[in-house]
């Protein structure tokens, strides 16, 4: 199991990005959360098997839906979290 913290920049708010990210994480069986930040970025904590998390990150980098436009993804390793779900958190 690995855990990563992502900060996604670009046109990622108001375009269904959180919902699409949630759907992707659920499909892949990952845990964590996605949240809009006040600066216009989206913050994601994702955790799961190494190969599946990498697949998730690649899809986030290319955009999880046709309306989002990702310009940058900052990726940092994190500590494992104790959760069994992936959720959408309320904004800031």
Catalytic residues: 18, 36
Q: In what order do the strands lie in the sheet with 31-36?
A: 69-77, 2-11, 42-48, 31-36, 86-88
CA separation for the pair 81, 33 (Å, rounded): 11
């Amino acid at each position: 199991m690995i855990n990563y913290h992502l900060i996604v920049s670009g046109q990622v708010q108001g375009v269904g990005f959180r919902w699409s990210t949630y759907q992707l994480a659920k499909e892949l069986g990952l845990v964590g959360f996605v949240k809009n930040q006040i600066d216009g970025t989206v913050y994601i904590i994702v955790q799961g098997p190494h190969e599946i998390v990498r697949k998730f990150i690649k899809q986030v980098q290319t955009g999880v839906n046709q309306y989002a436009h990702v310009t940058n993804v900052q990726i940092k390793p994190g500590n494992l979290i104790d959760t069994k779900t992936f959720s959408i958190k309320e904004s800031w």
